[in-house]
Amino acid sequence: MIGNGNRAALGVMSGALILTSWTAIPAQSATAPQAPAAAKEHTTAPNTKSASKSQSATITAMTRGANPRYWRVLVPKRKSGKRSLTRITGTSTLTRTMPSGQAVTDAIRVRTGKSFVRRAVSVERRRLDEQTRWIESDRGLTSKRGRFNADLMPGGLGTWEFRFKALKEPGAVAMRAPGETLLSISQHTSTQISWDQISAGGSHTCALSTTRTPYCWGYGGTGALGNGGLGGSLIPAPVTTRGVLDGVDLSQIVTGSSHTCALDNDGLAYCWGRGLSGELGSGTMANSSVPVRVDTSGVLRGVTLTALSAGNDRTCAVSETGDMYCWGEGKSGALGNGAKLDQSVPVKVKAPAGPRPFIEISTGGTHTCAVREGGAASCWGKGSSGQLGAGDGTYASTSEPERVAIEGEVKSISSGGSSSCAVLTLSTQSYCWGSADDGRLGNGQPTNTDTPSVTVDLWIDGAVLSQISSSEAYSCALTTSGQVACWGLNRNGQLGLGHLDNGPWPQLTPSSEIRDLSTGARHACAVNSNGEGFCWGNGANGELGNGNGGTSYSPWPVSQPLN
């Protein structure tokens, strides 16, 4: 029980009551009596002297409840006529001390009954022992069920203070409910994990930790999370390492629209998720909720793969000898084997002979692109929007690789939905071609083109582009200094600019020291030099990994996995 600065919190462990270090700091105008003796739940009568139609709520009781991961803070409610209205004022705070040697993710939930007043909420926290300033940690609207969720990254050891504020009604968050109003704090003990790489897919995201452990989160209805189930996850969940991944060291993970693939240190590939077009490469056209090994009885016999790429319903790979292989959806000709048929096992791409091997491959919506050592680029598949970059004005499709009409040495290439982009070696410029809808070419022009054109130069002094990533209708580029610029469609905030306006030219996102970048269908993710993950854009299926299940218009930290 907590009230007016008195420290007492109740929990249950192995049937016994234990004391935990939590403190509630009430609202400025609210008071609460001294705490009674220890019990499972304690409440304080509301302040009936108030003449207002609503009441400033004081956090008056906390219980651990039946679920040991969840903490509840009860607030008093006041009936006014036929309505019950509770206010949690902006100065109501909660303080707790983190357990020694553990990292804790704080999932904060405001929950009411069926009827409520829709309000925007923000959650802030600061560490008291360092007297740091308040930091806004999450914000958003309550959902249709009257719930607002905020998942805060572990902040290290110390005593942290939380504050809840209204964004539309100064000083208060108003909720109307027929039953009790709860402010729930979920305490999850987690292991601090650093990320090595991250990949954003259609409605899910996957990443490899620095210990080479795979995690996925977001929509899991096709089995794309690889944990043996079809449920989704709002935070990173480990991929099952039983079965074909037992004892395997992974080196790369990639996500398609609804499937995921990974590469191990021995050059073998594994996939899971949607497989109805053959994109898992296992020889069957069926989904799998656990990893399966890509078939090696045919063209991959004795082949060591070095890089993977997953597209809408297709997967491709490059071998150590510079050959390319693809499997999955082939009706668009994007498998590059000269045919237009789906394939459930890998087929070899009919690349023209050249002096240099291929070193990078990128699968898009209905086309594929690749780069040779030395910087020559090729694309194949559907070309009706000019996404193959042939530069001849025909906008033709092809089922075999054709040279991209770009001058200079290509360092990185990326296939989007109906456009493609590339960056040149030691260049501050990016080139895009194909569909110009929504500003996805980055040059402010509204017309499709099959000739690679320069996007507007980034205005970062001395910045050199190192990586580019294109998705259905937008692209992002990474500089060698770790800055990110995005352009194109921004309907879900996927440009990370803090708003929803489309970006006809590259604009910098509020991020720095980024070393890995990936764009998904409607969200994007990145990893910084400290191994921290960030995602932004659409998060309706949990693909942002922040535990919230909501959209974020700017980069937001990925939560730590639970133990």
Q: Which residue has the higher pLDDT, 415 or 180?
A: 415
3-state secondary structure (DSSP) of residue 245:
helix
Residue 277 has pLDDT above 50, yes or no: yes
- pLDDT value at position 511? 84
Q: What is the pLDDT of residues 83-136, one digit of tens each?
A: 333 333 333 344 444 444 444 444 444 443 333 334 444 555 555 555 445 544
Contacts of 459 (CB under 8 A, 6+ apart): none
3-class state of residue 74 by DSSP: strand
Q: Are 394 and 449 in contact (CB under 8 A)?
A: no
Q: For residues 388-410, give the mean pLDDT.
A: 95
Domains and CATH numbers, the chain: 10-190 (2.60.120), 195-557 (2.130.10.30)
- The closest alpha carbon to 99, from 4, 9, 234, 195, belongs to 9
pLDDT top residue among 152 and 543: 543
> What is the structure's pLDDT at 212?
95
Can you tell me whether residue 197 is helix, strand or coil? Answer: strand
pLDDT at 476: 96
Choose the weakest-confidence range: 106-110, 301-305, 438-442, 544-548: 106-110
Q: Which two tokens stand for residue 343?
A: 């394939």
Identify whether the C-beta of residue 207 lies closer than 8 Å to the C-beta of residue 236.
Answer: yes
Q: For residue 239, what pLDDT band results from cuts at 50, 70 and 90?
A: very high
In angstroms, the CA 35 to CA 24 distance is 12
pLDDT digit string (tens) for 435-470?
999 999 999 999 999 999 988 765 555 678 899 999
pLDDT above 70 for 428: yes
CA atoms within 13 A on the CB side of 304: 5
pLDDT in tens, 14-28: 222 122 223 333 333
Reported pTM: 0.70
Between 7 and 237, the more confident residue is 237
Residues 199-205 have a mean pLDDT of 98
What percent of the chain lies above the pLDDT cut of 70? 65
3-state percent helix, strand, coil for the chain, nearest multiple of 5: 0, 45, 55
Q: What is the pLDDT of residue 327?
A: 98
What are the structure tokens assigned to 274, written together? 């949607």
Report pLDDT for 560. Answer: 84
pLDDT digits (tens, 9 = 90+) for 149-163: 444 444 444 455 555
Q: Residues 29-38: what's their mean pLDDT? A: 27
How high is the mean pLDDT of the chain?
A: 75
The confidence score (pLDDT) of residue 127 equals 55
DSSP 6: B
Going by C-alpha positions, the residue among 171, 138, 142, 131 that lies closest to residue 152 is: 138
523, pLDDT greater than 60: yes
Distance CA(3)–CA(23), nearest Å, equals 8
Burial of 541 (0-12, 13-18, 19+ CB in 10 A): buried
- Under the banding of pLDDT at 50, 70 and 90, the label for residue 546 is confident
Q: For 470-516, how does the pLDDT look when each residue is reduced to its tens digit (9 = 90+)?
A: 999 999 999 988 999 999 999 999 999 999 999 999 998 888 899 99
